[in-house]
Amino acid sequence: MDNKQVVANFIGSWPTADIMPQYDKPEFAFIGRSNVGKSSLINMLCSRKNLAHVSSNPGKTQTINLYTLGETCLLADLPGYGYARVSKEKRGDFDKMMRGYFEKRPNLYCAMVLIDARIPPQASDINFLNWLGSNGVPVSIVFTKADKKKSSGLEKQLQAIRDALLEHWEVLPREFITSANDQSGRTELMEFMMSAG
């Protein structure tokens, strides 16, 4: 299937994973720190400008939002971790929601952890990846906003993140380098997802 012709549709939103409908299609969970560019990346992948809501205020995604990608797979948009303008109690609810999701989705194929390619390694990213790894969740890293940094500086930045992960991981997860602005990485990421069906 031509990746450009993949039709994406919104299925619904749920506050917890235990009330979500079950599917037999492989599901990809997109998650990252607030303000990592998750909604922009999802819109770029799906070739839809407003499929996922892009906000100037981090932390707007507060439910698990589920989409179809053609007839092949599903995409789950999860709330961001780290900084968000919500109460401590609400952040606790988000953490419980995410843990429940990763523990209760039998069709979860891979957690796609988004990391901002422009900034130094963040403890919240490393800790979350370590949690996924220790719980046996298949994981890939999706570097975002790669167009915002010159190529030489970008590679140095990515290597710093890899080195930080290698303090905990023997083998690094699969990675994708993307930009919602110039659509770089879209083909590789879509091919990976489409091949799971």
- 9-57: per-residue pLDDT in tens? 899 999 889 999 999 999 999 999 988 999 899 989 888 776 765 544 4
The CA–CA distances, whole Å, from 179 to 102, 112, 142, 143 equal 26, 15, 10, 8
Q: What is the DSSP letter of 1?
A: -
C-alpha to C-alpha distance for 113 and 46, rounded to whole angstroms: 18
Does residue 123 have a pLDDT over 60? Answer: yes
Show the domains of the chain with their CATH numbers: 3-194 (3.40.50.300)
Does residue 141 have a pLDDT over 80? Answer: yes
Does residue 84 have a pLDDT over 70? Answer: no
Tell me: the pLDDT tens digits for 155-166? 999 999 999 999
pTM value > 0.75: yes
